[in-house]
Structure 1
Amino acid sequence: MTAWQEHRYRRLIDAETHARPVLPASPPVRIRRLAFMSADGGADLRALHEKMGVVAGAAPEGPAWARQLVFRRDGRQVTWELHNEFATITWTGPTDDWEARPAGIGLELHENLLLVFATRIDVIGTESIAESALAGFSPLSLSYSSIFDGGAQAATDFRLDEDGFTRFEVAAGHSGELRIGVIVRRLLEIETYRTMALIGLPLAREMGGQVSSYERQLAAIMQKAGDGDTAEDHNSALEALHRLSGEISRTVELTSFRFAATQAYGEVLAERLTRLREKAIGEFTTIERFLNNRTQPALATCRATEKRLTALTEKVQRAIELLDARITLSIQTQNRAVLDGISQTGRSQYRLQLTVEGLSIIAISYYALGILGYVFEGLHEVLPFSKGEMTAVAAPVVVLVVFLAIRRIRRQAH
């Protein structure tokens, strides 16, 4: 048989397909779940991963180990699951199990993590939820509906009880153990993704004020740059823009992951809510409607803050480019003025040089003719020409010779 080399992700993909399977449940049953996030970017979760494996008695090897551990302890079924940025521990027991933090299931190993949410689901085998159970919820936020096309009922007010747990009541009717397991998982997922999606809201509100501060700083810098006329004013504004750009970039880096995760969790939450297939009971609202009315504005706030940061980053970049262009143009204008000045000076020097050369020709010719005058005075006695006649004839020749001599000297100098 041919032995093929497997892709390194093949086993991981197969394990992911079967990760976190639905665990059947039989009513009456109480399910509790705690979710924890790491305080140091995931290192705590990786360390907890190994420790929970010891508690569960599982061998820490193979892809299945990396996602879910299921074990029993003191009559409770315990499930520990590792997600991308959080871990959950879920345990089931009878409905009279009032221990919110039972010993022996590994809860003590989570003490260095951050508790994100705690949920309790009580499942009974009746057709409807008793009035006494509904009385424990706040009527102002009670969601009460039939789910899974009328196969069960669910009620919650999304408020924390005295133990710090959000409580759900479920009447499973004639649902089988596997269907009850699906119902429980769906409600747990809704609570999980609701909480994880809303974690980004406080950050968005905090960043909203910070973004407004950045926008005011940008406006002030551009106002100062517009009022300034000197190169020093423009350079000062450019330095301020670069500092502001650095601060905004750091803010984007700190918030981009959280905002992206918020939108991803929000999409998963919407999909899980749709799968409940709810119908309101009486005058009460459904879980889907209640959560959409709360989470959609929160998600919109996160999106708006993210868009403001993106738009602000682009505005600052355009402002930097504009100011750079203005400074470059100013420098070019100054350089052109300097070059024009140098050119004007050169032309002036050239005209002066021509003037000097002309005067030099006249002066040299004058002195040369003066010397020749002494010669012509002596020649007058032997030649039939007067001194004036010989000087008149020699003058153009002397001037021409001097002119040619000076021009040759100038050419050799250049």
Structure 2
Amino acid sequence: MMDHPLRATLAAELHARPFLKVAESVSLTHYAIYAEHNVAIHETLLNSLCRDTGVPAPEDGATHYAVLSPCGWYLKWERHTEFSTFTFVIPREDDDLFDDVAIRGIPESWFRQLAGSRFVASRMELITGPRVDSARDAVRQWIDGPILVGSNVLGGGQVFCDWHVRPDGFMRFLVIDEGFREEQGGRLLQRLYEIETYRMMALLALPIARRMGRELDDIHSSLQSLMQSMDVQATDSDDSQLLVKLTHLAVRVEALSGSGGRFSASRAYEKLVLARINELREERIEGMPMIQEFMERRFAPAMETCRSVWSRHEQIAARIARAVDLLRTRVNLAQEKDVTRLLAGMERTARNQLHLQHAVEGLSVAAISYYVLSLAAAAFKAMHVLNLPIEPELAEGLAIGPVVLAVIVVTRRARGRLLKRNAADNAHVGRHVNQST
């Protein structure tokens, strides 16, 4: 086999999520499911839907699935990193827009499984053919939110929405087909619900940013107080306490870093939203804002808040790190001063001990010499009693010089060995002090 094992999989990724193919008026219902602590819910919902509606289930591990159900609707399911989407599409021939026709035949038990995880719910109507003019004239009948957003898109149609969640839990989009080319209608519907889905996923960082902003305010206030305390002459114990407090602030800031993944994902989703809006190629309809303008006024400030909070978090983390380094340097300098004073005291003690040793050494030489000469005098007197030709007084006098000289030599050798041992001990103490600082 010549191909790499991953070639087929990676090549197929380009065609993994094809656009909707729509050539007539359709009604579309779109759900985005997000359950942070229940990853299995996405496949569970899909398998349950297939079982309850009589359609075949996808293969295990599938990330996208499309099937036509016996109820008449077409299902497009996609599994994304954090969420999954269920899109139901069915042809429409009547004028009773934004009803449940696209999800007809799905049992109520399946919708109950969405409790707490339905993150996006949108209803879209694509109107083509002779009903275009009447639908355009009745826009305000179907989309009656506080602000009507609309624009000419893709050079062949119009989009109207209000980005308002209605009491039934759905957001509405009305698309007028005035001459879309082949498959443009399906692509437009998909881009619209992707804009809303990615927008909501991007905004997941906003509540975190608001909570983090309040926490950063408290940390910043504490840091300012500690920095002012650092500027005041303080004792070593005060510096140690400041270092402990700064370390505690560093721990609090580091704990906030756990949200970095959420902010990074938010930036990625924001880019997708902006890319999908640019793909609409909007042109203005007089009297109402375009989707891009609406997002710049409402969506962009929220994303800017997220960016500014995360940037502030990084700045405060850097300030705390610098403050810790400065304070640690000051503590180290104080410790080095203490070590210097300790070594100077040890040096003075050693000098005093040396002077005392010299004095004791002189006395020791005299005492030892006197003791040795006394023993020698007793020995000389004993030899004289034995009638040996020795004069005790003369012999004792002659022995004074050699005895004193010998005692001096022995004493100096002993002192030399003691000095070498003390020098080795002091060097060991110095190395231990340096390692501890």
**Residue of structure 2 equivalent to 1:409:** 411
Unpaired runs of 5+ residues, structure 1, are 376-386
Is the contact between residue 34 and residue 119 of structure 1 (CA under 8 Å) also seen in structure 2?
yes
Q: Which of 133, 139, 153 is 1:133 aligned to?
A: 139
Is the contact between residue 202 and residue 267 of structure 2 (CA under 8 Å) also seen in structure 1?
yes
**Residue of structure 2 equivalent to 1:378:** none
The yes-or-no answer on 1:25 pairing with 2:29 is no
Cα offset, 1:15, TM superposition: 3.5
Cα offset, 1:122, TM superposition: 1.5
**Residue of structure 2 equivalent to 1:90:** 87
Paired residues for 1:15-414 under 5 Å = 15-40=12-37, 42-52=39-49, 54=51, 57-61=55-59, 65-93=62-90, 94=92, 96=96, 98-99=99-100, 102-104=104-106, 107-108=110-111, 110-125=113-128, 126=131, 129-138=135-144, 140-149=146-155, 151-175=156-180, 178-227=183-232, 229-253=234-258, 255-360=259-364, 398=400, 401-402=403-404, 405-413=407-415, 414=417
Is the contact between residue 144 and residue 155 of structure 1 (CA under 8 Å) also seen in structure 2?
yes
Cα offset, 1:158, TM superposition: 0.8
TM, length-normalised to structure 2: 0.78
Alpha carbons of structure 1 residues 245 and 51: separation in structure 2 relative to 1, 3 Å: farther
Cα separation, 2, equivalents of 1:266 and 1:209: 24
Is the contact between residue 143 and residue 156 of structure 1 (CA under 8 Å) also seen in structure 2?
yes
Cα separation, 1, equivalents of 2:28 and 2:72: 13
Quick check: 286-295 or 400-409, which moved more?
400-409
Alpha carbons of structure 1 residues 73 and 261: separation in structure 2 relative to 1, 3 Å: farther
Q: CA RMSD in A?
A: 3.4
Cα separation, 2, equivalents of 1:349 and 1:135: 105
Q: Give CA deviations for 1:223-266 in whole Å, capped at 9, x if unaligned.
A: 4455473443333333333333222222111x111111111111
Cα separation, 2, equivalents of 1:220 and 1:171: 61
Structure 2 counterpart SS, 1:246: helix
What is the aligned-residue identity percentage?
29
Structure 2 counterpart SS, 1:159: coil
Alpha carbons of structure 1 residues 323 and 272: separation in structure 2 relative to 1, 3 Å: same
Cα separation, 1, equivalents of 2:81 and 2:345: 68
Cα separation, 1, equivalents of 2:300 and 2:354: 80
Cα separation, 2, equivalents of 1:174 and 1:367: 130
Q: Give CA deviations for 1:51-88 in whole Å, capped at 9, x if unaligned.
A: 4454563354377x322233324222222221111111
Cα separation, 2, equivalents of 1:70 and 1:39: 27
Cα separation, 1, equivalents of 2:405 and 2:353: 20
Unpaired runs of 5+ residues, structure 2, are 381-392, 418-437
Cα separation, 2, equivalents of 1:201 and 1:162: 24
Is the contact between residue 152 and residue 172 of structure 1 (CA under 8 Å) also seen in structure 2?
yes
Cα separation, 2, equivalents of 1:123 and 1:98: 13
**Residue of structure 2 equivalent to 1:379:** none
Is the contact between residue 124 and residue 175 of structure 2 (CA under 8 Å) also seen in structure 1?
yes
Is the contact between residue 223 and residue 246 of structure 2 (CA under 8 Å) also seen in structure 1?
yes
